[in-house]
Amino acid sequence: MKNTGAKKIKRISISLCFAAALCICLYAVGFSVKADNQATINKYNVVVVLDSSGSMEDTDPDGNRYEAIGLFINLLTESGNNIGGVVFSNGVQLSEDIVSADDQSTKDAFMEKLKSIAPAGWTDTGAGLETAVNMIEEQGDPELPSVILYLSDGNTEMGTDAETEESLQRKADAIQKARENNIQVYSVCLNANQDADVTEMSQIADATGGIFKEITSAADLKDAFNLFYETIYGTSTVQIGDETVPESGVIEKEFSLPAFGVEEVNIIIYGDVDNVQITNPNNAVVDSTTVKSNTYTIVKFSDVQEGNWKLKANGIPGTNVKVNMVYNTDLTVQIGSNADEIGHSVTSDDELEIYANLVSNGETATQDNQYNGYEASLVVMDSYRNVIEDDIQMDVTGGKFSVKRNYEPGTYYFKVILTGNYLSKESEELGAVTVTETAEPEPEPNTAPTPVKDKIIKKVYVIPFRDNTFEFDVDGIATDKEDKELHYEIESSSFEEGEDYTFSDNKIELTHYSLSKGAFTIRAYDSMGEYCDVELVITSINVGLVTMIVLAVIALIILIIVGIIVYKNSIISFKGTIEVKTCVNDVEKSDRREGRRGNVKLSKFKVDDLGLRKNTRFQATGKDYIYFIIKPGLYMGNRKIKKVKINGDGSELRLYKKVSNDGQMSDWIAISFVPKVYSSRKQDFFGNDSSNSWGNNNGDYGSMQGGGVFNGLDGDYGDANMYGGEPKQSSGNSSWGNPWDGQGNSYDNGDTWPK
């Protein structure tokens, strides 16, 4: 967004907005990796992308965004996470490489780097996102899930239309690359002045599987924090206290921790306090790390045990202090069943058990008391992951959660939702489990569908004043060994459903192109619920009005040129006779025609057409040869030709319909061309027809020099000088006729010329 000068805003509201924004981003991160990264859950490659355009100085003059980012960074566990940063305005102003965030000094240095860039310039969203995606691809830990936290107060805007268009193109490319590398973008719009169109930032998040949050007031703060903590760490924000510091200046609060699943505890204190101590159930002070900012204090400790704990701190009497607690956890839920133990296919009479174990720090909970405070519910789905039944309560028995039930015939998938102790977790899917009416032999293992192509690439030219709808039928993009028909769904898309596209009857109809490059992830299910994904990538090329006018002018010029060529060809004279002979099944036919102008179609001749198309023709050249244009072609020897020159020497050119495997020729056509003899000669005074010379019709010549004449009758020569020179005459039986002397006198044949 352009630097438009100071704007009046409520500073406290902005501070809260930024903090809430980051919380939303963090909430979304944890949700996205439950199934794919059980071993590394809650550890991430995180890149913060921060808008530093000139308007940020107006919307956040007190730098509250840094407090919010700092809260996010400091809440990360003390080991296992990686952080990097990008600050952008007119391009990228800062690119802070991804590093391990395992100590507080690294986190502090990271924040100082972000603060070092002063707001100025425009909003080059494409440059910021592209740099972040490339950074993760090149520097991130490939064993960790990756996220981008994108904070801005506006939309892509540069100094010129061309620069803005380039930034939007880079943004589209970055979104596609993020999708391909499973990088989620969580975008937060600080729309305090209500100037931003939130659609762009919302789409960035939706397209990559992230979440978007618009922050406008402090009222969003509580919901944002709850949403953030409940999801990123699979936990909840627990309020320990919210009270005024007593006259003693000492506050004490108690809290409890569960027996299993807590990796690290964050105590967040809003208010001015110091000398914070944490005491464990054995009444011993534990080692902790304290981080202070302008608005909060975070106390972190990881030596966790079950029981009642105590917090003690000093504060200013009469001031308000709010204390919250957040767990960092590596707790996972592992799901299983007794389907393999039944010994045959599961029938509707069999009691199917679905169970779940808790795992933390590589240890599986096997004692019932380790499940204290937790609750689990079972979700039942069909082959296409439609929920059939949820909230089926599971009991703790034998060191696990368990539920036993009978199921109607069908194919089922299951997952377990865990809550309690301020945590929330979800298991991976279990399935497919097939239930039959009667016991049957174990079927052959089902194979998942396979894509015909992993990626399908299409281009669409968006032209003004026309319907630019793109339609794509997904039928047939995948095949399956067991099923002829597959079930298709749009798993995700860069484009907005409803706004950009609809999906119905296995057809995608794209009517609006909000991104110049976007994609659909199409999931193909078989009847057993196995699936494969196919990526459909669509690049739209916007043909603007000016471009259309230029193309129209070029097309008009081409049409004029082609028209001139066609016209010239149509008026060229044949100047000769075409003779055509054909032989089909040993029956010969022949015909001849005098071509006039342009071309003559073969169909005009009373011969067989040899199966050639109607536009097979003879083309005039205005010279002593013509061309035979053959559709689709004939053979000259073993070579198929479509155009051949017919010389005007009267010789016959023979072409064949086809050549057999043994080299024998089939039906044929023979063509000859005899040009007319055109003459521009005039008769000389001897009465002979000559061209540029005088002489007889036998091709012998005479010439006249200065009044003298060659008679040229027998090829012998004589000459005369009109000035009185003596005539010279060769021997032979030649006659001069009646030559003259150049002075008006004539002489009989053989007379002597006067001197």
| Least confidently predicted of 130-144, 324-338, 553-567, 734-748 | 734-748
In terms of CATH, what superfamily is 450-542? Immunoglobulins (2.60.40.10)
CA distance 28 to 229: 9
Residue 728 is predicted with a pLDDT of 43
Residue 310 is predicted with a pLDDT of 95
Residue 735 is predicted with a pLDDT of 39
The residue among 729 and 103 whose pLDDT is bigger is 103
Average pLDDT over every residue of 746-753: 43
The residue among 362 and 533 whose pLDDT is bigger is 533
Residue 441 is predicted with a pLDDT of 77
CATH architecture of the domain with range 576-675: Sandwich (2.60)
pLDDT at 38 over 50: no
Q: Which residue in 125, 150, 152 sits closest to 49, CA to CA? A: 150
- pLDDT classification of 41: cutoffs 50, 70, 90: low
Residue 74 is predicted with a pLDDT of 87
CA 440 to chain CA centroid, nearest Å: 47
The answer to whether the 11-232 and 450-542 domains have the same CATH topology is no
Residue 27 is predicted with a pLDDT of 39
Phi, psi of 596 (to 5 degrees): -100, -80
Encoding tokens for residue 18?
């930024």
Are the CB atoms for 489 and 523 separated by under 8 Å? yes
CA 416 to chain CA centroid, nearest Å: 36
CA distance 533 to 508: 16
Residue 232 is predicted with a pLDDT of 60
pLDDT at 727 over 80: no
- Run of H or E residues at 589: strand 587-594
Average pLDDT over every residue of 218-228: 43
List, for residues 468-517, the tens digit of each pLDDT value: 999 999 999 999 999 999 999 999 999 999 999 999 999 999 999 999 99
Residue 661 is predicted with a pLDDT of 66
The residue among 33 and 332 whose pLDDT is bigger is 332
Encoding tokens for residue 36?
């794919």
CA distance 27 to 336: 28
CATH architecture of the domain with range 238-328: Sandwich (2.60)
List, for residues 297-317, the tens digit of each pLDDT value: 999 998 888 899 999 999 999
Average pLDDT over every residue of 83-105: 94
Are the CB atoms for 540 and 512 separated by under 8 Å? no
The bridge status of strand 183-190 relative to strand 146-152 is parallel
* Residue 320 falls in which region: left (phi positive, over 0), alpha (psi -120 to 50) or beta: beta
Residue 341 is predicted with a pLDDT of 81
Average pLDDT over every residue of 699-719: 39
Q: Is the peptide bond before 632 cis (omega within 30 degrees of 0)?
A: yes
Residue 595 is predicted with a pLDDT of 74
Share of the chain above pLDDT 90, in %: 52
Residue 85 is predicted with a pLDDT of 96
Residue 216 is predicted with a pLDDT of 73
The pTM is what? Answer: 0.68
List, for residues 410-453, the tens digit of each pLDDT value: 999 999 999 988 888 899 999 899 999 988 877 788 899 999 99
Average pLDDT over every residue of 232-256: 85
Q: Read out DSSP for 248-293?
A: TSEEEEEEEE-SSS--EEEEEEESSEEEEEEE-TTS-BPP-EEEE-
pLDDT at 522 over 50: yes
CA distance 358 to 353: 17
pLDDT at 746 over 70: no
Residue 284 is predicted with a pLDDT of 94
CA distance 45 to 133: 11
- pLDDT classification of 343: cutoffs 50, 70, 90: low
The residue among 190 and 273 whose pLDDT is bigger is 273
CA distance 604 to 580: 11
Average pLDDT over every residue of 117-121: 91
Average pLDDT over every residue of 355-367: 92
pLDDT at 126 over 80: yes
What are residue 270's DSSP bridge partners? 322
Which CATH code for domain 332-436? 2.60.40.1930
Widest CA span in the chain: 163
Which CATH code for domain 11-232? 3.40.50.410
**Mean pLDDT taken over the chain:** 81
What are residue 355's DSSP bridge partners? 336, 402
> In the chain, what are the domain boundaries?
11-232, 238-328, 332-436, 450-542, 576-675, 689-755
- pLDDT classification of 230: cutoffs 50, 70, 90: low
CA distance 125 to 129: 6
- pLDDT classification of 464: cutoffs 50, 70, 90: confident
Length, in residues, of the chain: 755
CA distance 10 to 145: 37
CA distance 751 to 736: 9
**HSE-up of residue 35 (Cα within 13 Å, Cβ side):** 6
- pLDDT classification of 545: cutoffs 50, 70, 90: low
Residue 751 is predicted with a pLDDT of 43
pLDDT at 696 over 50: no
Average pLDDT over every residue of 625-634: 92
Share of the chain above pLDDT 70, in %: 80
